[in-house]
A and B are shown apart, each in its own frame.
Chain A
């Protein structure tokens, strides 16, 4: 069974600073997909970034980037120049691929950006 672990229940960061959220996962698959989702107070799930396991290059989306370490099964999210609107729950999620489309979520990290 696949598992996703987020070891930081809560984090805070000063506005304009950089913060890194950690995520580890466990799988026996080789071609899988990793995601970071953001859930602000509105509770709408928003896709922040995705990474295909077969790609060695780390994904980036504007201020968001990941550090994907396949051998270590680690997938951390770095948020640069943190903004107040980044305050949210962040969920790391995993799809095993191979025809399976079910997302497995971590327990989440509550990020607070402090003005």
Chain B
């Protein structure tokens, strides 16, 4: 149980275009989803926390107008990279938390490799 999927697994787009990444919890309801960014040989950096039905909370330094997050249902959150540029190329990972009070474990998706040309 507790499987999280991401789509697409890898995407290549041209500079100036927008890309949407989907994160789905397949067998549980996720009250909270998280979006991370990981550069090569580095750790995961939290970008934003997404709660179902409310606006995402962005970490300091993350442009909310560039990285649009929508958490419209208990099983789906999306990250849209708008007007992508080569410096946005990275590995994006989502995670989801079970919607139970006191549960702290996060389940991770397999990640999406974004390349902007």
Contacts and interface: CB of A to CB of B under 8 A. Distances in A.
A47 B105 contact: yes
Contacts of B44: 45, 91, 103, 105
B34 A102 contact: yes
Contacts of A95: 104
A43 interface: yes
A7 to B, nearest CB: 14
Interface string B66-87: 0000000000000000000000
A9 B113 CA distance: 24
B108 A101 contact: no
Interface residues of A, number: 20
B108 A45 contact: yes
B116 interface: no
Interface of A: 33, 35, 37, 42-47, 50, 91, 95, 97, 101-103, 105-108
Given A42-B110, A105-B44, 12 more contacts: A43-B93, A43-B111, A45-B95, A45-B108, A47-B107, A97-B104, A101-B97, A101-B104, A102-B49, A103-B46, A105-B43, A108-B42
13 contacts: A33-B104, A37-B108, A43-B111, A47-B107, A50-B105, A97-B104, A101-B97, A102-B49, A103-B106, A106-B43, A107-B42, A107-B43, A108-B43
Interface of B: 32, 34, 38, 42-44, 46, 49, 91, 93, 95, 97, 104-108, 110-111
Cβ-closest 6 pairs across A and B: A45-B108, A105-B43, A33-B104, A95-B104, A107-B43, A44-B110
